[in-house]
Structure 1
Amino acid sequence: MTDRPPKRAVLIAGATASGKSALALVLAEALGGAIINADAMQVYRDLRIVTARPTPAEEARVPHLLYGHVDAGENYSTGRWCIDASAALTAVERAGRLPIFVGGTGLYFKALTRGLAAVPPIPSQVRAAVRERLKREGIAALYAELSARDDATARRLMPADRARVTRALEVVLATGRSLTDWHTQGMKPALDPQFAVKIFLDVNRAELYQRIDCRFDAMVASGALEEVHALGKRGLDSALPAMKAHGVPWLIRHLNGEIDLPAAVDAAKRDTRRY
């Protein structure tokens, strides 16, 4: 019988409304844990209700970290989360508690357990030029150029993966170096996955859709519209991540008089189900 490595953390992932936060709270109370947020939208201070952040009463039951600590006007990157998450992990362990990471942002979990490339910011003009070429020439042409400039990265990607192909091409055009090269110099993993218990909540689609619908109705009843109204009054750039949180764009359209509330709610539910 082989020895299993000791576990030093729990990772809980799953779709929106799958019950991740509720499970994390139960485990934290039972195991003496602390909950660390790994959801890209629940970091924003302005959006407690519409992102289904834990309530103040829930946060009082066990320590919660990296919830609501970022202003909606900031573009909070995965790199920044990695730095914050590493510090949170250390703090929780020093306090003698079990770190429980919970969220729906796969890139956060990947960066936590695999590390993150140290790619510098891409100039906006390079990004705009590549996006324009994507519209004009199509993804096949961009993939062909990526293959010529960075074959190692291209071979790891699906030719039709628009997001990753354009990102890789932007990097090589802006820096003169391949994304594969940058990957060797990034942040190291904060947590070795062999030392973590990994839980993925897989809910039946019909049940999940019902949960999403009921949860969004509850959000609206609890003040989501007022929360989004306050956010909209700040006049923030619509391209900011917080402005793209599930439901926010549609509720803003309603508040601007473009659509009625039932239509906004239905559209928000539909978008959430597609995520």
Structure 2
Amino acid sequence: MEAERAPVLRDFEEKLSLLKERRPVLIAGPTASGKSALALELAERVAGTVINADSMQVYAELRILTARPTEVEEARVLHRLYGHVPIRDGYSVGRWLSDVELAIEEAMASRRVPIVVGGTGMYFKALTQGLSPIPEIPAEIREPIRRRLAEEGAEALYAELSARDPDAAERLPPSDPHRILRALEVHEATGRPISEWQRQSPGPALIDPATAAKLVLWPDRDRLRARIDERVDVMLAAGALEEARAVMEMELDHDLPGYRAHGLRPLIAHLRGELTLEQAAEKTRAETRQYAKRQFTWFRHQMDGWERMAPPWQSDP
């Protein structure tokens, strides 16, 4: 494995003079691109703390389905913000920003390099550009709107959003129920459209992007798809079905953010007799490939100034 990693790591290390000053390192990339392995390798070399920036890896019950670092890997270096939230709880970018601020401060105070790694582009944007000051939405407003989604469907709520906040509706596809819900919740709770909140000046960034080492892994698309397909097989062999069964038996609201974890819904559908295991596995592969495609689009448009590099498992192009 060292022979595989060496070309990439040598190239990376040439660009990391900031490490000598204990400055933050940010590593983004699409799912299955090898981000966590690279972060672990670097953390061991430079006395770093690996800090999670993946919105699904925060959930305690989803280690296998979200490809969280294993217990053995977590024991090798200090990891923060992995599996620290019960899936029954909602978790937002605002909460992550509060949590990551403390994790970074703790790393810096102990003279460890904060290595923030993950695939959630919005987390990195909030970290380096600040976050619009949208207040938390009370449960008494959030829950009735989510019940309406189940009863009326996304199209009806999208039509209402189009009337209330046409600017937001224009930017959202009618098939994105989670963002439609979010926009309606904000309008209902604050009396102001979410598009108006988003136009406000964001709060201060926690990390100045000019002083951090910024890397986005950019794998070959075909090889990444093959890795995604292989990962699904590995997850199933490791107990992903049992993990999905444990979540199903909790009888939670399926609109919770944790239910967006790739594979969770298809595997639950299999456990309920609605899909064969192979159908559930193929749906998981397909939705994960689609997610990787969206990640590439985000990174291309939102991380233009980041260093793009081939991942450790891929030869230089």
Pairwise TM-score range, normalised by the shorter structure: 0.7 to 0.9
Deviations 1:140-186 (A, max 9, x none): x9668646xxxxxx4xx793533678855764565234546645476
- Distance verdict in 2 for CA 1:267–1:165, change over 3 Å: closer
Matched letter for residue 33 of structure 2: S
Say whether the 8 Å CA contact 1:250–1:268 is kept in structure 2.
yes
1:31 — aligned with what?
46
In the alignment, the residues of structure 1 paired with residue 157 and residue 75 of structure 2 have an alpha-carbon distance, to the nearest angstrom, of 54
1:9 — aligned with what?
24
Matched letter for residue 25 of structure 1: L
**Which of 204, 216, 222 is the matching residue for 1:206?**
222
**Which of 250, 269, 273 is the matching residue for 1:234?**
250
Say whether the 8 Å CA contact 2:51–2:103 is kept in structure 1.
yes
2:85 — aligned with what?
70
Say whether the 8 Å CA contact 2:43–2:50 is kept in structure 1.
yes
1:161 — aligned with what?
172
Q: Which moved more, 1:168-177 or 1:72-81?
A: 168-177
In the alignment, the residues of structure 2 paired with residue 48 and residue 177 of structure 1 have an alpha-carbon distance, to the nearest angstrom, of 38
Give yes or no for the alignment of 1:61 onto 2:81. no
In the alignment, the residues of structure 1 paired with residue 234 and residue 207 of structure 2 have an alpha-carbon distance, to the nearest angstrom, of 36
Matched letter for residue 56 of structure 1: E
In the alignment, the residues of structure 1 paired with residue 81 and residue 226 of structure 2 have an alpha-carbon distance, to the nearest angstrom, of 28
In the alignment, the residues of structure 2 paired with residue 248 and residue 64 of structure 1 have an alpha-carbon distance, to the nearest angstrom, of 24
Say whether the 8 Å CA contact 2:165–2:193 is kept in structure 1.
no
- Residue 104 of structure 1 deviates from its aligned partner by 0.7
- Residue 52 of structure 1 deviates from its aligned partner by 0.5
1:151 — aligned with what?
none
User: Map of 1:1-275 to 2, 5 A cutoff?
Assistant: 8-120=23-135, 121=137, 123-124=141-142, 135=155, 146=165, 154=167, 159-162=170-173, 171-172=186-187, 174-177=189-192, 179=194, 182=197, 184=200, 187-275=203-291
Secondary structure, aligned partner of 2:94: helix
- Distance verdict in 2 for CA 1:240–1:165, change over 3 Å: closer
- Residue 53 of structure 1 deviates from its aligned partner by 0.5
- Residue 127 of structure 1 deviates from its aligned partner by 7.5
- Residue 113 of structure 1 deviates from its aligned partner by 1.1
In the alignment, the residues of structure 2 paired with residue 49 and residue 236 of structure 1 have an alpha-carbon distance, to the nearest angstrom, of 19
Matched letter for residue 121 of structure 2: G
* Unaligned residue ranges in structure 2 (runs of 5+): 1-16, 292-317
Deviations 1:178-202 (A, max 9, x none): 5466454764321111111111111
Secondary structure, aligned partner of 2:170: coil
Matched letter for residue 206 of structure 2: A
Matched letter for residue 236 of structure 1: L
TM-score by length of 2: 0.73
- Distance verdict in 2 for CA 1:212–1:134, change over 3 Å: closer
Figure out how many residues of one structure are paired with residues of the other and give that number: 263
Q: Percent identity?
A: 47
In the alignment, the residues of structure 1 paired with residue 73 and residue 148 of structure 2 have an alpha-carbon distance, to the nearest angstrom, of 46
Secondary structure, aligned partner of 2:58: coil
Secondary structure, aligned partner of 1:109: helix
1:150 — aligned with what?
none
Say whether the 8 Å CA contact 1:7–1:196 is kept in structure 2.
no
- Distance verdict in 2 for CA 1:240–1:138, change over 3 Å: closer
Matched letter for residue 89 of structure 1: I
Q: Which moved more, 1:47-56 or 1:117-126?
A: 117-126
Say whether the 8 Å CA contact 1:130–1:170 is kept in structure 2.
no
* Unaligned residue ranges in structure 1 (runs of 5+): 148-153
- Residue 256 of structure 1 deviates from its aligned partner by 1.1
